[in-house]
Structure formats: structure tokens, C-alpha cells
Amino acid sequence: MGSTETVASGLSVASVSRTFSVKGSTVRALEEATLAAPLGSFTALIGPSGCGKSTLLRLLSGLDRPDSGELRIGDRSPDQVRLAGGIGIVFQDPALLPWRTVVGNISLPLQVKGDSVSEARDRIHSLIELVGLKGFEKAHPGQLSGGMRQRVAIARALVTEPSVLLLDEPFGALDEILRRTMNEELQRIWMERRPTAVLVTHSVEEAVFLADQVAVMAKQPGRVLDTIEIPFERPRRASLVRSPEFRAVADHLSEKLFGPT
Amino acid sequence: MSGASERILRIRSAIAIAAMLAAWEIVGRFELIANGAFPAPTAILSGLWADSDLYWRHISASVRSASLGFVIGNVIAVLMAVLFVQFPATERLMSGINITLFAMPLIAVVPVLVLAFDGSTPQVVLAAVAVYYPTMSSMLLGLRNVDDRLVDAIRGFGGGSLAILRRVRLRAALPALTIGLRTAAPAAVLGSLLAEFGSGSRWGLGTFLLGSLGAGDPARLWGIGLVATGIAGVGYGVFALVAKVTTRQVASETLATSPVPASGSREEHPVTRFLYALASLIVALGAWQLLLAVIDLNPILTRSPVGVVRFLFTEDGSGEARARLVTALGETLPAVFWGLAAGLVAAFVFAVVLTLLPSVGRSVLPFALISQTMPLVAFTPLIALVFGRGAWTTIVVTISVTFFPSFVTIAQGLAMTPRRAVDVVQIYGGSKLTVLRLVSVPSAVPYLLAAARLAAPRALLGVMVAEWLATGRGLGNLLNESRGRLDFGMIWSVAAVSVVVAIALYRVFVAIDQMVMKRYLGG
């Protein structure tokens, strides 16, 4: 898809700045950051700690506002989209409510919005199937593994059928082996629903494997240095990571991040 | 939080305190509430000043017995904790005694102590009893909660459990010990005050309070209450400071990573568990018997466990004794229940409301912490002055002893509401109230249960003190009456029954806790 859509109906970040004052000193978390993502595309934000990638994600979620510049999702502001249930978000910490079952946790956004949970039952169950948790509907988070909890968090983020999916280092707490599996899973889930996705990550491999484009960010002040297109066909297979083409793109990205060796 | 907003907060709480004092002064000057039960702060101060000689003699007597009991109780507590960690089976055998010392309403054993000891010894003993559990449990947690890797390292160098104790555990337990001592200091003051009830000793704040009951001088009752609170507060403050220093020194990254090993939770044959429980009961009753032998009193004054059973079931007049005890229980237990329920509900609501007003919450929490150090006994006569000598006084005393510790526990629970879960609710446009309903309140439930468990024994103590001092009903009154009538069998029976009731209450809340948590977390 992507090609026939105009950028205007995707995500746009235009010259966005955000500063915080911490104990009297000012931190320029983001300065004149600019980024565009077509509707239904997958963008990864990568950069060192403190480059403002999580700040940018928070601004896109509408939970925070920029000091200057403008963010649009289609022709609406992030806040408008958020209140309409158009944004799903997944954090590194799955942030599940321990006293709720898998179904209960996935229903949470609907309850907050005041939507009927019983009407959405089929949708919830197909989501549980989509994220591969069939049979665990009645389980509590304490009974699930770390990867399974993150699957619940992804299902919860998708339950309002959002047009934008924000992922803040969703697999940062998982080990490398599980992380690769989850990356493949995420690609599959995303391809079924095709929300416009933005992923914050520390991992070059994860960014190249999942994204259509990778925005490389730098710190002090936080800003977008460059945007790199990732050309690989989808669905991408796990073996892609070992191909010379993949390594070449990854090396190019590393060079942008760490400078030429 | 930045320095500027902290300063604003501090100024705001200073203004709030000043306004409160001013209001109190006006209320006092014009005797607006309960015919002068709230004398003006200036009147209280001038009373303190006028009687300062008298106050000093009472204060020094109380401080002396509280400090001596504090030292003795803590030495025993630390030694026992070391014993328990080196030989875990001893902890299980002693669990009957430990739980008794935790749950027992201190006042229940006062007449027994007064029978057994002379002079200021009852005060010292009760202070020691009051400090034992907080210090022992804290120390034990500290000794156990060490990094497994350090233990493995010492083992790797060929060290045994004694080397581990010396090189790792004792040092690592220091912060936990000081935190235990911080709680123990006000407990020692409370213990020494309570033991003066009916002790006939001349000096001490408890004696002073009892002697001032009939005088109808609210300013003096306030003076005694505030002085007692001050002593307890100083004790708390000193060890809070020490705790701060030790915690800072040891707070390195390698520590506090390993969870506390749950000694009781491993899979075990039910028969083994039953045998341990039985053994711990026998040890507790044996300790009772042994104490009687050691004190070596006139047998007329004492009752062994079997003696209590005989007094209540087989001796002449046992039917009448039993009837009186049952009547008293029938008066005490509902008061405990209602006071505890009201205290917990109030604490829960208050804590939840304060999460909506975080700046108010931050300025209230320090007061709540300080109020935990208040020796409640000292304020019971004042509460009786306002609420009369009926059920209301009992309820208010019970609420006041259960409210603050529960509030602190629940507020700390609410403060730990997972930040990200709050974000999730806000993403979908959830208001503060929605966050409260869907996230904060349910996440505070485990803390509410923990608060109930801890508050239940306190509620029983509160009710019994109110009954003894004010209302003339229930177990507390029966104890006081039996003391006056030299009804030794009843004195021992009330003590034993109160302990059993306290333990049963605690057990009930543990069971409720386990049941709810099982449903709550699935399983």
C-alpha cells in the first residue's frame, strides 16, 4: 500500500521542540525534530539514551505537548486521535494489571473509553488468537512468562483498532533469543492490521528487521539526524538477518549512529 | 521535585500548622468544644511550666524504665534473630511465642506483671516485651535478605555459616536493625506507661495520668499526652536518623537484589506442618510454666495453663467465671470489629482521596508518620472527655490507633501504583477518577489487607485500654475489676483469653489475605 497514500494522511512531525527543566537546568530533549511516516508504514526511531526518542513517542501519543512545532496524524492532532481511541501504545514494561485476567487486561481500553466490552468479545478473542495466546484467556499476568505478558500488552494496544501503534522498546527487557521470535511475531501481527507503527529501539538489528524507514537520532540536543529507507520485501524471514544485504544496511545504520570506523 | 516547589510546600505546611494552632487557641480560650476538653495551647504550656518539677520526676521515671526495657528487649530480640537465622527450626518452634508477643494486647498482662514483680520491674519488662517483636522481625529480615552471591563467595573461600554470619549477614542487617529500633523506641514508651496501670508505683507518666483522671484538668491530661508523645517522638527521631545513615552506607547495587527466602512457603507434608504447629504451641505453654517456676511466687497468686483451664471449667464457681468472661467478650469483640472496620475504611478513603491531591498528601504523610509514635493510652482520657464514657469513646480510640498505621501502609501502596498502567488509562482519555477506579484502588487492595493484619491486634489493645480507663465494660474492665478484687484466677484467665483472641484475630486476617490474594492474582 504506502505508495498510493500521501504523507499527509500518515504521521507528520514538523520542527518539533520540547525542553524540560530538571532541578533548575534546562534539558533540550528535542530540537527542531522533523519526520514523516506514510499511512500504514513502520518507522523505527534509534539513537543513544537521551536522544529524545521516547519524548517524541510521548508527543505522538498526545500525552505531552511540544513547546513549538506541530505534530499531525492525518489531519488531526495526536490528542484528538488519542481521545477517539486511535492510538495504541506498548511500553517496555507490559504494565498489565496483575488482578485482571488476560481478557480483563485487553478489555481495559474499552472500559476506559466507555465502550461495551461484551459487544467486543469476538474482537478480543480474535486478538488473543492473533497474538498467540489462545487457551490463556483466563490466566493472570503472574502466571505468564515475560514474552507472553508482552503479547497481552500488544493485544491491549490493538483492541480499539487504532490507526497508530506506538512501541516504546517493547522487547527491551527480553533476552536476545526471545526478542527475535517476538520481532517476527510483531511483523506478522502488524501486517494483519496495518496500523501506522512507530518503534523506539536500541537495537540496530531490530530496527532494520522491522521498519520501512529508520530515523537516526542524536542527543544534546535531541534531534533527527537522518532517515534511512529499508528496502526488504515483506514478510521478512528470520534468515534475512544473516544475509549480506541485511548486514550491509545494518552496517550503514551503525555508521550513522557511531560514526565511521 | 525541584527545590522551589519543595520550599513552597514547606511554607504551605507551616501556614497550615500555624492556622491550626490559632484555631485551637480560639476554641480553647472560649471553651467551644465539649466544655473545655480542648484547652488553649497556651494554657497547656503554662500548666507544663507551673508543674515542671512534678513533670520532671514522672518523666525521668518513665524514661528510665523505658530505656532499660528497650535495651534488654532489643538485646534478646537480636540474639533470637541470630539464633533463628542460624538454626531455622528454632524459629518454627518459637513461632507460638513470637506470634503471641506480636499480637498480644500489652495491657492484658499488666496485672500479671504487677503480681509477679516489684517496683519499676513491671514497666521494664513490658517495655522489653513491647520492643521484642518489631526489632526481632526487622533484624531477621535483614539477616536473611542478603545477596546470595555474597553468601556463595564466602562459601567458595571455604567459610561456613558462622563466617557468613560474621562477614556478611550481621553487617548487611544493620539498616534493617535500625529501622526495627526506630519502631521499637515508641513501643518501649507505650509499654512502660501501660505497666504503671495499677502498679502502685509513685512516679512515671502512666501513674501521673491515672492520678490526674479524676482531677478534671484537661490541660494536665494534654500536658501528659504531649510529653509522652514527645519522648516517643525523640526516640523515633534518633533512630530514624541512625537508620538514614546506615541505609545510605549499605545501599550499594549488590544488595537487596535477592528476594527474602520464604521459609514457610516451601512444599511440605501436612503432617510435618501440623507437628511443627503443635510443637510451637507446646513450647509456648511450656514457657509459661517455666516462667512461673522461675518467678517462684506464692501459688495462690499464679495460674499455670492447666490452672486457667481448671478455673474456667472445673473449679467451684467456674460457671459464673465463664459467664462473666463470655459477657465481657461479647462487649469487647463487636467494639474491636466496628472500630477496626471504621479505622480501615477511613484510612482507605483518606489515602485514596489524597492521591487525587498529591501536594496535600505529601504534606500530610509526615504528620501521619509522627502520629504513629503517639502512645495512644495517654490520649484516651481526653477522648473520653469529649465523647463521654460510652461506646463512642471505645470506637474513637480504636479508630485512632488503627487509622494512622493503616493510612501509612495504604498510602505507600498507592504511591507504588504502576506509572505505566496509569499512562495506559490516560492514553484512552481516562480521567483521574478513572485511573483511581481502574488502577489505584484495586492496586491498593493488597496493602489494605496488610494494614488490616497489622491493625487487628492494635484494635484489641485500643478497645481494652478504653474499657479499662473509661467505659467500664468488656475485657479491659473485667481485668481492672479482677485486679481490684484480687481475683487472681480471673486475672490470669483474662490475660490468656485476650492473647488467644488476639492470635485468632490475626490468623483470621492472614487467612482472608491469602484467600483474597489467591483470587486476586489468579492461581
For residue B323, the distance in angstroms to the closest alpha carbon of chain A comes to 46
The domain limits of chain B are 1-32, 44-258, 267-299, 303-523
What is the C-alpha to C-alpha distance for residues B199 and B202, in angstroms, rounded to an integer? 9
Specify whether the CB–CB gap between A76 and B421 falls below 8 A.
no
* Side-chain-side CA neighbours of residue B237 (13 Å): 10
What is the C-alpha to C-alpha distance for residues B402 and B394, in angstroms, rounded to an integer? 12
Task: Write down the pLDDT at residue A218.
Answer: 84
Q: Dump pLDDT digits (tens) for A211-225.
A: 999 998 888 888 888
User: Whose CA is closest to A90, among A172, A8, A153, A40?
Assistant: A153
A-chain CB neighbours of B2 within 8 Å are 21-24
DSSP designation for B508: H
Residue A248 Cα distances to A179, A180, A231, A244, B22, angstroms: 21, 19, 12, 6, 76
For residue A151, the distance in angstroms to the closest alpha carbon of chain B comes to 15
Is the omega angle on the peptide bond into residue A235 within 30 degrees of 0, that is, cis?
yes
For A71, residues 6+ apart whose C-beta sits below 8 A from its C-beta are A11, A12, A13, A14, A16, A59, A60, A77, A78
Put simply, the chain B residues between 370 and 429 with a CB less than 8 A from any chain A CB are: 418, 420-421, 423-429
For B443, residues 6+ apart whose C-beta sits below 8 A from its C-beta are A97, A98, A99, B413, B414, B416, B417, B418, B421
Specify whether the CB–CB gap between B495 and B115 falls below 8 A.
no
Q: Which of B427, B449, B518, B520 to mutate to test the interface with A (most CBs of A within 10 A)?
A: B427
- The answer to whether B44-258 and B303-523 have equal CATH topology is yes
Share of chain A above pLDDT 90, in %: 21
For residue B351, the distance in angstroms to the closest alpha carbon of chain A comes to 20
Task: Write down the pLDDT at residue B1.
Answer: 43
Specify whether the CB–CB gap between B361 and B410 falls below 8 A.
no
**463470655: which residue's cell?**
B326
CATH number of the domain located at residue range(s) B44-258 in this protein: 1.10.3720.10
Interface check B230 vs A, CB under 8 A? no
Distance of CA A188 to the CA centre of its chain: 14
pTM for this entry: 0.81
Q: Dump pLDDT digits (tens) for A230-255.
A: 888 888 888 888 899 889 999 998 88
For residue B77, the distance in angstroms to the closest alpha carbon of chain A comes to 36
* A164-168/A196-201 β-pairing: parallel
Interface check B1 vs A, CB under 8 A? no
Select the more confidently predicted residue: A1 or B496: B496
Q: Nearest residue of B to residue A153 by CA position?
A: B424
* A213-218/A223-229 β-pairing: antiparallel
All three cell numbers of B65, joined, read: 524504665
A-chain CB neighbours of B520 within 8 Å are 98-99
A-chain CB neighbours of B436 within 8 Å are none
A-chain CB neighbours of B523 within 8 Å are 140, 142-143
CB contact under 8 A, A109 and B443: no
For residue B413, the distance in angstroms to the closest alpha carbon of chain A comes to 14
CB contact under 8 A, B427 and A101: no
Confidence bin at A4 (pLDDT 50/70/90): very low
B-chain CB neighbours of A114 within 8 Å are none
Task: Write down the pLDDT at residue A197.
Answer: 93
Put simply, the chain B residues between 443 and 482 with a CB less than 8 A from any chain A CB are: 443, 445
**489524597: which residue's cell?**
B354
Apex A15 CA angle, A13 and A21, nearest 5: 105
Q: Which residues of chain B have pLDDT under 50?
A: 1-2, 250-265
Q: B290 in helix, strand or coil? A: helix
* A25-37/A11-22 β-pairing: antiparallel
SS3 breakdown of chain A: % helix, strand, coil, rounded to 5?
Answer: 40, 25, 35
Q: Nearest residue of B to residue A137 by CA position?
A: B522
Residue B426 Cα distances to A68, B357, B434, angstroms: 23, 17, 9
Q: Nearest residue of B to residue A136 by CA position?
A: B522
For residue B304, the distance in angstroms to the closest alpha carbon of chain A comes to 48
- Please report the DSSP string for A160-181 in residue order: T--SEEEEESTTTTS-HHHHHH
Task: Write down the pLDDT at residue B251.
Answer: 42
Q: Which helix (H) or strand (E) holds A223?
A: strand A223-229
Average pLDDT over residues A17-41: 85
CATH number of the domain located at residue range(s) B303-523 in this protein: 1.10.3720.10
Residue A185 Cα distances to A129, A154, A235, B124, angstroms: 12, 11, 11, 68
DSSP designation for A220: T
What is the C-alpha to C-alpha distance for residues A16 and A65, in angstroms, rounded to an integer? 10
Task: Write down the pLDDT at residue A201.
Answer: 92
Task: Write down the pLDDT at residue B125.
Answer: 94
Specify whether the CB–CB gap between A97 and A91 falls below 8 A.
no
Task: Write down the pLDDT at residue B6.
Answer: 66
Specify the length of chain A in residues: 261
Sheet with A223-229, side-by-side order of all strands: A87-90, A164-168, A196-201, A42-46, A213-218, A223-229
Specify whether the CB–CB gap between B142 and B165 falls below 8 A.
no
For residue B62, count other CB atoms closer than 10 A to its CB.
28
Q: Dump pLDDT digits (tens) for B189-237.
A: 999 999 988 777 888 888 888 888 777 778 888 888 889 888 988 888 8
